[in-house]
């Protein structure tokens, strides 16, 4: 279990402050945020290699804020590995290992054993990361802090190592807190996602919730939401005690019906591209509350997917479709379409 | 169009300036070695006082360097890692011996360790005669040259990313153990280079030593003594041998730099 209570630290002119979250034992936490947000600083403060200036760090329900890193019984893997260059790969893996059989098992499962005789200088960036992972797991930590540990791995190896590490985590029950820029990784691995910006934790939620219900428009944009609008909103149907309100959101010529609570302030609306359905003509009957007429202005293929931008009353609305759908609908620039969005897919923040 | 002649003129100016400075450095040393070098090496076989002074110089410089390495490396590490309490004050104290004239350093040491001082008196009563002994020579060398070691060692340690130590600590090492197992080997060449620089500086010291211990004579004092007593011709061979011996640490330093350039592990 990792718990931060109003945690803060100073790193030169940069300050991390007021970070609070709880990651249950055996869970996999993901730290997201732009470069320079303080993600690595957060890991280092939890590890104790950087002293906390405010707040507390609790590991396994014990306050370790004043304990030295070697007393915290956790492992850390930096993005660049930081393998000891004066030692062989094998000596690196065994550096902190008290149980050689365990270190050998970890190495075998991560595919590090064939690298044992190599010098650190001869390893590729990806190999270094895997060796660093094996080294961190050597002392059997029950908490593992990972700073973009798969960033330098080629896609095939990344999938294999990620799967193996996930399997080991389930078997051995250690808790993981991982920094990543890979949103796919966050969605696949994470039980809890922490979004850090400018040294502050701006949202902590399960990854699905973080992606679908971002707390602010800035978070939505950072997380890659295709449609983020600033506008005004008004309640059209109060849900009362039983549930949320129905809200009408207006931006330029585009009106969206969404679900939420309107408190009279200027609002943002977020619609993810995969929640937009396109058709060539209006459906006879549909449960979608937003049925919008528009014209295709751009189609940007991205592998098997395509981002189709539709002009709706002068406002661009992006839909993510498969390229097969684009072909079947005969979409091209200038084609009139109908865009449909469920009210529950319109997130107001 | 106007830039090219100006560039050429500037390049010529830099070249002439560089040659003048290099000439200034090379000329006196060459003259000394050419005039006294051969005689100096011949004299090594026949002049017992010269041999004794060289041995004394080497042994006291080595002792001072060893003491500086043992006592100075932890300070260098604390300074490099920003963990030294009152680091600015400690840094200033370490810089001070580099800034004061060396005879003044000798006088200061005399005041601190002479028989009239509390410490010198206590040593005297304990039967340790500091002044006029090789111990005082080592002390003077330590005073003037140890700051060079600490400064160079601090830079060598600072070049090793502190995250290596952080990782070692999460693997169970204490701060000192991580520094010993990880930083020391990674900064090894830099630390050896720092020790070599200190040794060379200690071996060439004159001003502070001559105040504390005229006899027995280290090589620099012997050279000065012979110049005073017998004139230039008598001092030349001793001086030339000293210069030629200074080449040894220079070669060691060059070798360390070349090896570092060729074999430093990728980080």
pLDDT value at residue B261? 59
pLDDT value at residue A263? 67
Does the predicted interface ipTM exceed a cut of 0.85? no
Contact B171 A82 (CB under 8 A): no
Q: CA–CA separation, A229 vs A128, rounded Å? A: 43
Q: CA–CA separation, A75 vs A13, rounded Å? A: 27
Residue B113 lies in a domain: yes
Residue B100 lies in a domain: yes
Query: Which residues in chain B touch residue A85, judged by CB atoms under 8 angstroms apart?
Result: 186, 265-267
pLDDT along chain B (267 residues), means of 10: 77 94 90 83 88 95 97 96 91 90 94 90 88 95 96 96 96 96 95 94 95 94 94 88 84 77 43
pLDDT value at residue B260? 65
Query: Which residues in chain B touch residue A72, judged by CB atoms under 8 angstroms apart?
Result: 170
Q: What are phi and psi of A182, to 5 degrees?
A: -90, 105
Is A89 a residue whose pLDDT tops 80? Answer: yes
Nearest CA of chain A to the CA of B78: how many Å? 15
The average pLDDT across A67-72 equals 96
Residues, chain A: 349
Among A46, A59, A70, pick the best mutation site for testing chain B contact (most B Cβ within 10 A). A70
Query: Which residues in chain B touch residue A96, judged by CB atoms under 8 angstroms apart?
Result: 168, 170-173
Is A1 a residue whose pLDDT tops 60? Answer: yes
Please identify which residue in the block is written with the tokens 């049925």.
Answer: A291
A181-228 residue pLDDT tens? 888 777 777 899 999 999 999 999 998 888 888 888 888 888 888 999
pLDDT value at residue B128? 87
> CA of A138: which chain B residue's CA is closest?
B171
Note down the domain range covering B38: 31-262
Nearest CA of chain B to the CA of A339: how many Å? 52
Is A242 a residue whose pLDDT tops 80? Answer: no
Decide: A198 and A50 in contact? Cβ < 8 Å: no
Nearest to B265 among A76, A95, A121 (CB): A121
Contact B172 A84 (CB under 8 A): no
Residue B21 lies in a domain: no
Nearest CA of chain B to the CA of A5: how many Å? 22
pLDDT value at residue A155? 86
Contact A70 B170 (CB under 8 A): yes
Instruction: Decide: helix, strand or coil at residue B84.
Output: coil
pLDDT value at residue B265? 38
> CA of A69: which chain B residue's CA is closest?
B170
A90-108 residue pLDDT tens? 999 999 998 999 999 999 9
> CA of B165: which chain A residue's CA is closest?
A49
Residue B213 lies in a domain: yes
Q: What percent of chain A has pLDDT over 70?
A: 97
Query: Any idea what the CATH number is for the domain that residue B97 is in?
Result: 1.10.3720.10
Least Cα distance to A92 among A66, A110, A73 occurs for: A110
Nearest CA of chain B to the CA of A231: how many Å? 47
The average pLDDT across A275-287 equals 90
Query: Which residues in chain A touch residue B174, judged by CB atoms under 8 angstroms apart?
Result: 68, 70
Query: Which residues in chain A touch residue B266, judged by CB atoms under 8 angstroms apart?
Result: 85, 120-121
Contact B170 A49 (CB under 8 A): yes
Show contacts of A12-19: CB within 8 Å, 24+ apart: A14/A38, A14/A41, A14/A199, A15/A199, A16/A41, A16/A42, A16/A45, A16/A199, A16/A200, A17/A54, A17/A199, A17/A200, A18/A54, A18/A55, A18/A200, A18/A201, A19/A55, A19/A196, A19/A200, A19/A201
pTM for the complete prediction?
A: 0.81
Q: How confident is the model at residue A262 (pLDDT cuts 50, 70, 90)?
A: low
What is each CA distance from B208 to B55, B223, B224, in whole angstroms?
19, 15, 14
pLDDT value at residue B149? 97
Q: CA–CA separation, B78 vs B84, rounded Å? A: 5
Residue A100, beta-bridge partner list = none
**CB-defined contacts A:B, below 8 A:** 67
Residue B91 lies in a domain: yes
Chain A residues within 8 angstroms (CB to CB) of chain B: 44, 47-49, 68-70, 72, 74-76, 78, 80, 82, 84-86, 95-96, 119-121, 132, 135-136, 138-139, 141
What is each CA distance from B88 to A85, B83, B116, in whole angstroms?
32, 12, 32
What is the CATH topology of the domain spanning A217-348? OB fold (Dihydrolipoamide Acetyltransferase, E2P) (2.40.50)
pLDDT value at residue A183? 82
Nearest to A86 among B166, B174, B185 (CB): B185
Contact A78 B167 (CB under 8 A): yes
Domain boundaries, chain A: 2-212, 217-348
Q: How many domains does chain B have?
A: 1
Contact A120 B265 (CB under 8 A): yes
Least Cα distance to A259 among A134, A137, A132, A345 occurs for: A345
Residue B25 lies in a domain: no
What is each CA distance from A272 to A294, A300, A342, B15, B34, in whole angstroms?
17, 16, 11, 66, 84
Q: CA–CA separation, B219 vs B55, rounded Å? A: 9
Nearest CA of chain A to the CA of B183: how many Å? 9
Write down the CATH number for the domain with range A2-212. Answer: 3.40.50.300
């Amino acid at each position: 279990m990792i718990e931060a209570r109003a945690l803060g630290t100073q790193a030169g002119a940069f300050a991390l402050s007021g970070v609070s979250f709880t990651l249950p034992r055996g869970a996999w936490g993901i730290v997201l945020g732009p470069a320079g947000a303080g993600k690595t600083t957060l890991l280092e403060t939890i590890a104790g290699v950087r002293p906390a200036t405010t707040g507390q760090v609790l590991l396994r329900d014990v306050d370790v804020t004043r304990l030295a890193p070697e007393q915290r019984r956790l492992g850390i893997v930096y993005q660049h590995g930081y393998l000891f260059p004066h030692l062989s790969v094998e000596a690196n893996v065994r550096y902190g290992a008290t149980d050689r059989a365990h270190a050998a098992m970890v190495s075998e499962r991560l595919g590090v054993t064939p690298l044992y005789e190599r010098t650190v200088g001869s390893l590729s960036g990806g190999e270094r990361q895997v060796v660093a992972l094996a080294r961190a797991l050597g002392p059997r930590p029950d908490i593992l802090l990972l700073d973009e540990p798969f960033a330098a791995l080629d896609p095939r190896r990344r999938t294999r190592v990620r799967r193996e590490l996930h399997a080991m985590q389930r078997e051995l029950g250690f808790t993981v807190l991982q920094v990543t820029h890979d949103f796919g990784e966050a969605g696949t691995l994470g039980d809890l996602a922490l979004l850090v910006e400018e040294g502050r934790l701006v949202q902590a939620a399960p990854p699905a919730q973080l992606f679908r219900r971002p707390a602010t428009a800035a978070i939505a944009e950072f997380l890659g939401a295709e449609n983020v609008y600033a506008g005004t909103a008004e309640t059209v149907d109060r849900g009362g005690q039983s549930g949320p309100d129905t809200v009408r959101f207006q931006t330029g010529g585009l009106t969206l019906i969404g679900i939420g609570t309107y408190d009279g302030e200027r609002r943002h609306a977020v619609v993810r591209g995969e929640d937009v359905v396109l058709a060539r003509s209006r459906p006879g009957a549909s449960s979608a509350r937003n049925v919008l007429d528009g014209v295709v202005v751009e189609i940007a293929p991205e592998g098997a997917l395509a981002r189709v931008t539709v002009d709706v009353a002068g406002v661009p609305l992006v839909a993510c479709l498969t390229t097969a759908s684009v072909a079947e609908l005969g979409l091209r620039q200038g084609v009139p379409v109908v865009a449909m969005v469920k009210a529950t897919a319109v997130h107001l923040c | 169009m106007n830039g090219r002649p100006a560039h050429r003129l500037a390049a010529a100016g830099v070249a002439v300036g560089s040659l003048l400075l290099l000439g200034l450095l090379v000329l006196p040393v060459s003259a000394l070695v050419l005039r006294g070098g051969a005689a100096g090496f011949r004299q090594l076989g026949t002049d017992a006082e010269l041999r004794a002074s060289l041995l004394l110089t080497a042994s006291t410089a080595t002792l001072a360097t060893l003491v500086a390495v043992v006592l100075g490396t932890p300070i260098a590490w604390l300074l490099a890692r920003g963990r030294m309490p009152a680091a600015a004050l400690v840094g200033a104290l370490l810089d001070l011996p580099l800034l004061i004239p060396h005879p003044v350093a000798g006088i200061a040491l005399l005041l601190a360790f002479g028989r009239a001082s509390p410490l010198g008196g206590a040593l005297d009563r304990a039967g340790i005669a500091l002044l006029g002994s090789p111990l005082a020579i080592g002390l003077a060398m330590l005073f003037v040259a140890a700051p060079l070691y600490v400064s160079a060692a601090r830079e060598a340690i600072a070049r090793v990313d502190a995250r290596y130590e952080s990782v070692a600590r999460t693997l169970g090492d204490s701060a000192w153990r991580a520094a010993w197992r990880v930083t020391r080997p990674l900064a090894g060449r830099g630390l050896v280079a720092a020790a070599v620089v200190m040794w060379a500086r200690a071996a060439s010291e004159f001003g502070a030593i001559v105040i504390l211990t005229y006899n027995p004579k280290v090589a620099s004092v012997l050279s000065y003594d012979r110049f005073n007593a017998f004139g230039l011709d008598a001092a030349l061979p001793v001086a030339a041998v000293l210069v030629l011996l200074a080449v040894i640490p220079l070669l060691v330093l060059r070798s360390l730099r070349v090896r570092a350039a060729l074999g430093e592990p990728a980080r």
